Structure 1
Amino acid sequence: MAELDWHAERTDLVDLAQLDRAPEDDIDMVAVRAHRLGRVRAQMAERDIAAVILSDPINIRYATGARNMQIFCQRNAPSRYLLLTADRSILFEFTGCAHLADGLETIDEVRAAKTASFVAAGPEIAAREKAWAQEMADLIASLVGRGARLGLERLNAGSARALDEEGFDIVDAQEPVEMARAIKSAEEMKCVIASLRATEIGVAKLREAIRPGLTEVELWSVLHQSIIAQNGDYVETRLLNAGARTNPWFQETTDNVIGTNELIALDTDVVGCHGYYADFSRTFHSGPDKPTELQRTLYKVAHEQVHHNMGILRPGMGFRDYADAAWDIPGKYYANRYYLSAHGCGMTGEYPYLYHHGDFPDAGYDGEILPGMTLCVESYIGEEAGREGVKLEQQVLITETGVELLSQFPFELDLLN
């Protein structure tokens, strides 16, 4: 990964043939897992949290490497959960799935999960929640003592209340886990790169498949096929739109037929290789004619926003300082702006959120941009009541001295020139 030269004329254009899969056989996954587990425990210690119960499957995977029906478990939480202390890691796994954690040095013990949800327990849900809380409380007390500080996340309300009645000092576990995930190790970055390269191959295939008459979902499925064939996990959103459906943004992919000479906007949002998020956005043109002047203008404005905001990023910069220095969105595009200027990226979108200057008073918070953070710099440009819009985004790594570009997929020469 080459450090970016912000003084040179840049279009980030590369030959599609160069988008080969990153070698994965040199990734030390034991070191990756050790770094991640150590980060969580360090953040717990910093806040005097003796134990956490993690139920978000992404956070379980981050802390241990254990993966199991990730989307199912997000919808059916808590169907599996992890109890983590300073020196013990106990995974409560979904029925019949204990073998999936075999060989993971990050897990000391695997037990059967007791699913405390209405779907699993029906009218007996309150009794199930209480029994679950008593079982967990006895175990936690034996490890760290009754009354210890306990971090919880994403539990149903009845389970959390029942556990609170067991005499622990209950706190939210989101902060320590998000702060842990925010900083990547050099070995972890190899996973990020592998996911990006695989996703870029998928986007190249999608780009090559573009033709008028295809539906949005047919085109979008090309990316899916490629990602899954390369052992990626799934696409987290449905963000591919064409023509008038590119403005405003956040219109989900449908069976809309792609017309001639339309813009096609894509946000990858891929949970790819090793569970890492590959998150960049590109906008294409369906042809057969050249883009219009208006289409090129939208594209060039979005390109300018992304590159200005990448250019101001630096280690040690405050979130408020970033918002103050970020690109000024012209008035005619302001109403339809993307809701963030940039955001953290790891196993999914994560801390921090960096807001536009105008949104900072209501939504923003301060913090520090640190080496080891991976950020996605966003732009959406479309006039309010305009017909089309452009979505562009780049994924970067904050280093000790500046910024490294991670996403390498080319921009469109016909739309830039």
Structure 2
Amino acid sequence: MPAESSEARPVAPVDKNIIASISRIDQKRLSRYRLDRLRAELRRRDFAASILSDPINIRYATGTRNQAIWSMHAPGRYAFVATDGPTILFEFESSKHVTANSPIVDEVRPCTPWLYFLSGPRTEEKAHHWAGEIDSLLRQFGGKNRRLAVDRCDPLGAAHLQYLGVQLFDVQEAAEQARMIKSTEELACMRVAMNVCDLAAGRMRAALEPGVSENQIWGLLHDTNIAHDGEWIECRLFASGPRTNPWFQESSNRKIQAGDMVGFDTDMVGPFGYLADISRSWLCPGAKATDRQRRLYDLATEQVLHNVSLLQPGLGFREFAEKSWPVPDEFIANRYVMMAHGCGFVDEYPSVPYTVDWNDWGFDGTFAQNMVVSVESFIGEVGGPDGVKLEQQVIIGPNGAEVMSQTPLCDAFTL
């Protein structure tokens, strides 16, 4: 194998204005608002407490992050949030110093992990010990209320808790309802995340040329995000040419060709763990867009702009679906999975389907001020050579939707 070059690799510059914006966030006020929102939802459902193992919910309730991706598949750290009482964070002994200075966590204790990876044949023993710890806390801070809300509890742990007389409920409804309405600090965090996303999109657009691979362009989003204290990318949704239709192809080593349609969906978890979720489609330079590509782009743009214009406080989900842009019959089969969804730490409640899908999984509700929503479009006929993916993230204000991204929806290179 040839020796790797010793020449230093270029480092993407950091935007000082974004870094300054990050430093201005009042993290204590941010965390207090979220914890209060969660407790209000727990109280509304008469839950004595919650045990949170999903790192997204832990982040929301405690303001802490620690090995989030790892703990998504290997749950070991968790938080006990009393509805009326303390917030106790359980961390691995070797890393509890990482979150010891949270302004809203009352106590950090060593966790009792009982996943097989760490406990092997002692899993039963560890689950029994873990359940005893939780039961003791519930008795101390919940009194006679034995209603405990959980987001992730494997069968063995659930069985031990139920044996001790604990009533288990799903916390996710309470968590999603709490996360739905953003505070001033949360909106500031989401604007920062979008600024990082726009910066990355500009770098991706500038680097797009014939012969580069999808992964090379896609890597610029990751690079820019991490350099500005972002966290991860939820999916690998970057595709070019024939891989853009149908949608949901993951980024690959395919070399992009002149005149290829290139589409992506950022799903970017940025600074403070907040989501920047936009989609754009570009034409790779070196060839002019075809009439068909222009038509697809015009239709996708029309769909997004029309549906964004509908959003306002008090609008029902069903009403939104009924008033939404009518997708031409030839594109219905390959339509995007939903028309709109909430945004916060990640994709959140609600998800609004097309009317054709309403009977299968639709549900009603109401858009409210200070919700953040992404509006989706994919236009590509079955068997077509490519397709156009667009998505716009907006804040629902008192008079309608405020577009968050500065990355143009309509790309001049495509027209």
Judge conservation of contact 2:234–2:267 (CA < 8 Å) in 1.
yes
Distance 1:400 1:217, change over 3 A: same
1:161 counterpart SS class: helix
Determine the structure 2 residue equivalent to 1:325: 323
Determine the structure 2 residue equivalent to 1:84: 81
Letter in 1 for 2:44: E
The answer to which of 241-250 and 148-157 deviates more is 148-157
2:363 counterpart SS class: coil
Structure 2 residue runs of 5 or longer lacking an equivalent are 1-14
Cα deviation, residue 415, structure 1: 5.8
Judge conservation of contact 1:147–1:167 (CA < 8 Å) in 2.
no
Cα deviation, residue 127, structure 1: 2.5
How far does the alpha carbon of each residue in 1:121-167 deviate from its partner, in whole angstroms, 9 at most, with x for none?
A: 11222222122112211122112125521101112121112112211
Whether 1:205 and 2:203 are equivalent positions in the alignment is: yes
Distance in 2, Cα, partners of 1:384 & 1:71? 35
Distance in 2, Cα, partners of 1:29 & 1:20? 18
Determine the structure 2 residue equivalent to 1:347: 345
TM-score normalised per structure 1: 0.93
Determine the structure 1 residue equivalent to 2:193: 195
Alignment map for 1:16-415 (pairs within 5 Å): 21=18, 23-77=21-75, 79-85=76-82, 86-414=84-412
- CA RMSD of superposed structures (Å): 1.6
Cα deviation, residue 177, structure 1: 0.5
Identity among equivalent positions (%) equals 40
Distance in 1, Cα, partners of 2:389 & 2:160? 46
Distance in 1, Cα, partners of 2:317 & 2:411? 33
Distance 1:174 1:307, change over 3 A: same
How far does the alpha carbon of each residue in 1:151-197 deviate from its partner, in whole angstroms, 9 at most, with x for none?
A: 01112121112112211221110010110001101121100000000
Cα deviation, residue 318, structure 1: 1.1
Determine the structure 1 residue equivalent to 2:7: none
The answer to which of 137-146 and 381-390 deviates more is 137-146
The answer to which of 106-115 and 18-27 deviates more is 18-27
Judge conservation of contact 1:354–1:364 (CA < 8 Å) in 2.
yes
Judge conservation of contact 2:48–2:138 (CA < 8 Å) in 1.
no
Distance in 2, Cα, partners of 1:363 & 1:133? 35
Letter in 2 for 1:345: C
Distance 1:32 1:50, change over 3 A: same
Cα deviation, residue 413, structure 1: 3.9
Judge conservation of contact 1:19–1:201 (CA < 8 Å) in 2.
no
Distance in 1, Cα, partners of 2:22 & 2:227? 15
Cα deviation, residue 271, structure 1: 0.5
Judge conservation of contact 1:20–1:197 (CA < 8 Å) in 2.
no
Distance 1:413 1:202, change over 3 A: closer
Runs of 4+ aligned residues of structure 1 deviating over 4 Å after TM superposition are none
Judge conservation of contact 1:147–1:168 (CA < 8 Å) in 2.
no
How far does the alpha carbon of each residue in 1:99-122 deviate from its partner, in whole angstroms, 9 at most, with x for none?
A: 112321210000011111111111
1:24 counterpart SS class: helix
Distance 1:321 1:415, change over 3 A: farther
Letter in 2 for 1:355: P
Distance 1:111 1:413, change over 3 A: closer
Letter in 1 for 2:349: Y
Letter in 2 for 1:56: D
Distance in 1, Cα, partners of 2:17 & 2:303? 28
Cα deviation, residue 20, structure 1: 6.1
1:315 counterpart SS class: coil
Judge conservation of contact 1:55–1:81 (CA < 8 Å) in 2.
yes
Cα deviation, residue 400, structure 1: 2.4
Judge conservation of contact 1:398–1:404 (CA < 8 Å) in 2.
yes
Letter in 2 for 1:174: Q
Determine the structure 1 residue equivalent to 2:6: none
Distance in 2, Cα, partners of 1:168 & 1:146? 10
Distance in 1, Cα, partners of 2:157 & 2:395? 39
Letter in 1 for 2:147: R
Letter in 2 for 1:406: M
2:378 counterpart SS class: strand
Cα deviation, residue 80, structure 1: 0.3
1:110 counterpart SS class: strand
Structure 1 residue runs of 5 or longer lacking an equivalent are 1-17
Distance in 2, Cα, partners of 1:279 & 1:395? 6
Distance in 1, Cα, partners of 2:87 & 2:412? 54
Letter in 1 for 2:198: E
Distance in 2, Cα, partners of 1:117 & 1:413? 49
Judge conservation of contact 1:317–1:369 (CA < 8 Å) in 2.
yes
